[in-house]
Amino acid sequence: MLRWETIVQQLVNGLISGSFYALVALGYSMVYGIIKLLNFAHGDIYMTGAFVCLSTFNVVQGFLPGWPGIAVAFVIAMAVCALLGYLTQRLAYRPLLGAPRLSLLITAIGVSLIIYNTVMVLTNSRPMFFNSTAINLAAGFRFGNITVTYVQILLLVISAVLMILLTLFIKKTMIGKAMRAIAEDQDTCRLMGINVNKVIALTFMLGSALAAVAGGMACIAYNGVQYNMGYTIGIKAFTAAVIGGIGSIPGAMLGGVLLGLLESFGTQFVRSEWKDVFAFGLLIIMLIFRPNGLLGKSEIERM
């Protein structure tokens, strides 16, 4: 393969994986921005969304084959994960909002283990595979040795549209303004009549729904899911959020794309087993030289 063909192919591959990281990283950034919680259960919600999406598609493809069945599976997965996000926030995190941050962090790890082991038991530790005779995953464009499938284009379009819609929601709607206000000062928001708990719950639900979309996209892109898939992408999405500036919505998008491209081009020069080294090496470098991330802002602690 020629040099320019290699660059274009790795660019496509990096954008695909980067879009997954960005969608999951958005959940990390939204939750951290509003209540300063590192929700380490978010990767497991992504994994749950992938299983729900694939299980639903396997059920409905008998009467809704192809993309209509996938669309229904995505909607159901988003609803289930939004409910799961609400329940974890309501039952595990809300009672501890006034507690030290370490208590919230330990609780997040506990919630992660509960979801992980529950899915492992329900699936009997077996992977599930995406099979559809109505969709040709290999169909697409070929330019010399470069292959860009229609599915890859669709996944990139879905990711871009969701990111744009989320940005507009945060910046233009009253609920989005309430989220930004709560991130600044919860007590003042309560005095102004904002239902803080309701807005926080909605933030968890939105982030979880986006993670479900990423999980459904992973089903199609990688032709299957397994119960331990949430750990790695959860850590990498957290890395992407830190790179972009955790708490920043544009930063999460930028960090996810940059991380995906770094892994894609990095594995072109060394073995693929080293791609995780690139991700976490970049995280260490960012924490040393720019701990607030590319688009993050320094926080002022009020005494």
Is residue 110 within 8 Å of residue 121, measured between CB atoms?
A: no
The pLDDT assigned to 82 comes to: 95
31 closest CA partner among 78, 94, 116: 94
Predicted model pTM: 0.89
Annotated domain spans of the chain: 26-230
Is residue 5 within 8 Å of residue 256, measured between CB atoms?
A: no
232 closest CA partner among 70, 53, 50, 101: 50
- CA 83 to CA 160: how far, in whole Å? 24
SS3 sequence, 165-177?
HHHHHHHHCHHHH
Q: What is the pLDDT of residues 243-299, one digit of tens each?
A: 888 888 888 889 898 888 888 887 777 666 777 777 788 788 888 888 888 876 665
85-99 burial: b if 16+ Cβ within 10 Å, else e: beebbeebbeeebee
Is residue 208 within 8 Å of residue 18, measured between CB atoms?
A: no
Bridge-based pairing of strands 146-149 and 224-225 is unpaired
Residue 129's pLDDT band (cuts 50, 70, 90): confident
Q: How many CB atoms lie within 10 A of CB 213?
A: 25
* Lowest mean pLDDT across 34-43, 78-87, 111-120: 34-43
296 closest CA partner among 231, 242, 225: 242
Is residue 220 within 8 Å of residue 153, measured between CB atoms?
A: no
Q: What is the pLDDT of residues 29-57, one digit of tens each?
A: 888 888 888 888 999 999 999 999 999 98
The pLDDT assigned to 303 comes to: 43
**Burial of 235: CB neighbours in 10 Å, binned 0-12, 13-18, 19+:** middle
Determine the angle formed by the axes of helices 229-244 and 101-122, rounding to 10 degrees. Answer: 150
Tokens for 247, please give them: 């708490």
Q: Compute the average pLDDT of residues 225-233.
A: 87
CA-to-CA separations, 118 to 123, 135, 149, in angstroms, rounded? 9, 31, 35
Tokens for 216, please give them: 């459904």
Tokens for 48, please give them: 């749950």
pLDDT at residue 2 greater than cutoff 60: no
